[in-house]
Amino acid sequence: MSILGDILLTYIRTGSLTAKQQDTLLRELNRLENIASGAQQKPQTFSDLSRKGYTIHSSVLLGSPTGDGFIEITDAKTSLFDDGPGTYIYSRQSDSNTAIDSKPIVALGNLASFLGLADGTYGLALGNNLWTASPTTSGFRGMVLDRINGIDLYSANINLYNGALHTVSIQNDGDSFFGSDISTASNTSLVILSNAQTYNSESLGAGDILLGDNSASKANLLWDRSAGVLYFRGGTTSYANIGTNGTLTATNATISGTITATVGTIGGWTISSTGLHSTDNNAAIISGDNPYISLGSATGYLNGIGFWVGKDTDSTYKLYVGDPAHDHLLWDGTNLEITGYLIGELDYGAIHSSNIIINYEAADVDVDLTFERTTGGAAHVTWNGALIQTNKSLKPVDLGINRITDTEPTTTFPGMVWLDP
């Protein structure tokens, strides 16, 4: 049936015509009048038709609305009542030869009659049927480029090729693949998955991102969306990861360059902004700030029982071991001092000094030098501030006077002299 026949049938059935149908009816009447009057030999001008009361629009029609398809350029409306101005391509969608079967597949210009777009929308629309109520409607596949919203693709994939090599695939379901040849995993650099699937024999989840080749012995990164973890892998085996709290966990690491850390642990030590602290209640500290090393409860030079070595408050490097209030050894930057007992096991060795001082600080106490021995017992030499006394007999080798006493000794030895005071 012709366009005119369709319009007349609509009028018979409904008793009314839309504005588009009325405009098309006038256009058809004008065409029939031209044929009846032989106007083919001299087409009427727009002014001639306008004087006859017809609504005239400037339009170029290539093809027939009742054929396989047509192209129409118009400043107002197309033959199928779509609003212009613009250039429009209609194509038959099946073997039917009716006008109603021609659907718009390309629109360049005013897009207000297509895809539910708002009045005043101008641009380019491509698709299988631009009369679809909405571009998001199931079944529509195409593209809209308008001056306000830019480019929108619907149910369409984007594929890029470098010659015969497929380099990029962005699929309408969100899955995307990038590489020098994405037909093989070894040449695919980036995989972004919106859907759970098996990729290169590995089961991956929705939202996962793979950077690199997940084949055996190939280094790659996997962002596991469900776990929220970034994995550093060889093939499909993870050797390091960054967890949800930012913690880096690794099996092995070889690092050249600077490492800076102000918190955390290393080898049982707690890292601070100034040094390392043992996890045993700070019983051991290695400080880089005003550098020092301490063990036990030592908190500074001669402060606390333990060991301390480092830079003191006067910028002198010092050391002490022991209890500053009792037995200890210290180096004050000039002198080495020992306070308390100095005990040697079996063979202590030798002390090499031209000046040995006992009670160096001259405390007003009895000074006792003790010689311990299993056989014979301990021998003491004591200085009480007035006399040097010993609890054992003295036997000088070359001294002519060996003992002075008011009692004649019962034990004598050669060279002994006894004086009776």
pLDDT at 275: 87
pLDDT at 186: 96
Give me the residues of the chain with pLDDT under 50, please: 1, 12, 38-56, 99, 400, 402
Indicate whether 241 and 166 sit together in one domain.
Answer: yes
Count of the separate structural domains present in the chain: 3
pLDDT at 352: 64
Of the candidates 419, 415, 417, 398, the one whose C-alpha atom is nearest the C-alpha of residue 407 is 419
Report the relative pairing of strands 69-74 and 403-404 from DSSP bridges.
unpaired
Structural domain of residue 329, as residue ranges? Answer: 265-339
- The answer to whether residue 175 sits within a structural domain is yes
Stated pTM of the model: 0.57
DSSP secondary structure string for all residues of 384-403: -SS-EEESS----SS-S--E
Indicate whether 204 and 279 sit together in one domain.
Answer: no
Token pair of 344 as six digits: 């040697």
Amino acid in position 19: A
Indicate whether 246 and 280 sit together in one domain.
Answer: no
pLDDT at 32: 61
- The answer to whether residue 93 sits within a structural domain is no
> What tens digit of pLDDT does each residue of 270-282 get?
888 888 888 777 7
- The answer to whether residue 13 sits within a structural domain is yes
Indicate whether 164 and 246 sit together in one domain.
Answer: yes
- Helices 3-14 and 19-36: crossing angle in degrees, nearest 10, is 130
